[in-house]
């Protein structure tokens, strides 16, 4: 039977495994505004690509454009498209994540599998218990600019839970608050201990 931690995390214990699904944090009015912004931003980028491909033939200065002016237009266009491509990728990925993404966790007798997927696409990473340690919650840094930047609604958000695997940090649980993160951490700790006992 499926049980819930809050309104975003569901889990189910089956014979030999526990599955946990973490759904994205959705705020409908923000999602609508982001979608409108992305549509407009995409249009502007496509117009700029068109202008670059036509050599800015639609723009001139009193009917005559000097070589320097055309060169400056190309430089501006290329720099703009560099920034545009970065934010276009970030925002489109964020929208797809909110609408079609989820984090899948599988805990069985041998290890811990983690998959962050959109449309069910994504690579599942496998971590064995003997190589895992130091499960903990990430400390909130509300005054950090990096934390604020990564948790803006047009970004995917930071992970709440961290562990070490073969001396490398791994994380999961996007945009989970401290209270929910603690409950999830307790659940994972409990299920891992049970699986290790069964393994022995």
pLDDT higher than 60, residue 108: yes
Least confident among 82-86, 93-97, 136-140: 136-140
Average pLDDT over residues 81-106: 93
Could you give the CA distance from residue 59 to residue 61 in angstroms, rounded to a whole number? 7
Q: Give the predicted TM-score (pTM) of the model.
A: 0.82
Could you give the CA distance from residue 183 to residue 137 in angstroms, rounded to a whole number? 11
Fold of 3-27+100-199: PH-domain like (2.30.29)
pLDDT higher than 90, residue 84: yes
Could you give the CA distance from residue 106 to residue 125 in angstroms, rounded to a whole number? 10
pLDDT higher than 60, residue 58: no
Please name the residues in contact with 175: beta carbons below 8 A apart, sequence gap of 6 or more: 24, 25, 151, 157, 158, 160
8: DSSP letter:
T
Predicted confidence (pLDDT) per residue in 145-156, tens digit: 667 667 778 888
67: its two tokens: 């070589």
Q: What is the pLDDT of residue 144?
A: 67
Q: Which pLDDT band holds residue 132 (cuts at 50, 70, 90)?
A: confident
Least confident among 26-30, 57-61, 74-78, 112-116: 57-61
Q: What is the pLDDT of residue 64?
A: 56
pLDDT higher than 60, residue 179: yes
Distances (CA, A) of 78 to 11, 70, 74, 138: 48, 12, 6, 38
| Averaged pLDDT score across all residues of the chain | 86
Q: Identify whether the C-beta of residue 24 lies closer than 8 Å to the C-beta of residue 174.
A: yes
Domain boundaries along the sequence of the chain: 3-27+100-199, 30-98
Q: Identify whether the C-beta of residue 115 lies closer than 8 Å to the C-beta of residue 124.
A: yes
């Amino acid at each position: 039977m499926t049980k819930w931690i809050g309104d975003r995390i569901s889990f189910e214990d089956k014979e030999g495994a526990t599955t946990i699904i973490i759904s994205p944090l959705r705020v409908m009015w923000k999602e609508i505004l982001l979608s409108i912004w992305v549509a407009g931003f995409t249009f502007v980028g496509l117009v700029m690509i068109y202008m670059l491909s036509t050599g800015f033939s639609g723009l001139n200065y009193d009917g005559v454009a000097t070589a320097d002016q055309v060169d400056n237009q190309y430089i501006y266009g290329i720099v703009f498209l560099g920034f545009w491509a970065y934010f276009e990728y970030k925002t489109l990925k964020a929208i797809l994540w909110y609408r079609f993404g989820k984090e899948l966790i599988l805990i069985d007798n041998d290890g811990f599998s983690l998959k962050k997927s959109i449309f069910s696409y994504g690579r599942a990473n496998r971590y064995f218990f003997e190589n895992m340690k130091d499960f903990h919650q990430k400390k909130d840094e509300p005054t950090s600019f990096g934390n604020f930047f990564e948790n803006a609604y047009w970004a995917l958000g930071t992970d709440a839970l961290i562990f070490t695997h073969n001396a490398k940090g791994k994380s999961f649980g996007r945009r989970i608050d401290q209270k929910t993160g603690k409950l999830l951490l307790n659940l994972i700790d409990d299920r891992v201990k049970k699986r290790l006992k069964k393994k022995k």
